[in-house]
Amino acid sequence: MFSKKIKAINRSLVFRLAAVYALAFMLIAAVGFAVTYYRLQAMAMAQMDAELIDEVETFAGLVEKEGWPAGMARMAAEVESEDPEEEFYRFLNRDGGILAATDMVSWQTDVIQRAIRQLRSSDRDHVLHTVDLPAQGHKARVITAFIGQDRI
């Protein structure tokens, strides 16, 4: 007798409407979550890019005003205050020779070399790109930029 009532509920209009409303709500919630997630991700990426550009502009201004040794001192202070796997600096001359670098064992250098080629071939003063770091299990945002006339 009870099983007949359950079968009857499955065929009732109330149950079907409730199921349709539940599915519609789940679909709308999933779409809303996806849109919110991607908008927040885009905003976070834009903020991170702005911070990287600001840091490069500050560093370039310091090198221009106080010279290369002051820039190297700031780089050393930045690296000491951060984890080497989270922040690194590499300074190159226009020919690609390394002028100075911090520990970059955990970073992919081939991606950075492609960014340097892209920077040289474009009229922009910086290139932003994302590097996949499988050893750490995450991605990193990297900026490659000109510092003065002869340094990258």
pTM for this predicted structure: 0.65
CA torsion 112→118→120→125, rounded to 10°?
Answer: -90
Nearest to 104 by CA among 79, 129, 70: 79
**Euclidean distance between CA atoms 60 and 54, whole angstroms:** 10
pLDDT in tens, 94-127: 666 777 777 665 455 666 677 777 777 777 777 7
Q: What is the pLDDT of residue 41?
A: 92
Distances 81 to 42, 50, 84, 132, 133 between C-alpha atoms, Å: 28, 21, 9, 23, 21
> Which ranges of the chain have pLDDT less than 70?
1-10, 83-87, 94-96, 103-112, 133-136, 148-152
**Residues counted in the chain:** 152
Q: What is the pLDDT of residue 69?
A: 77
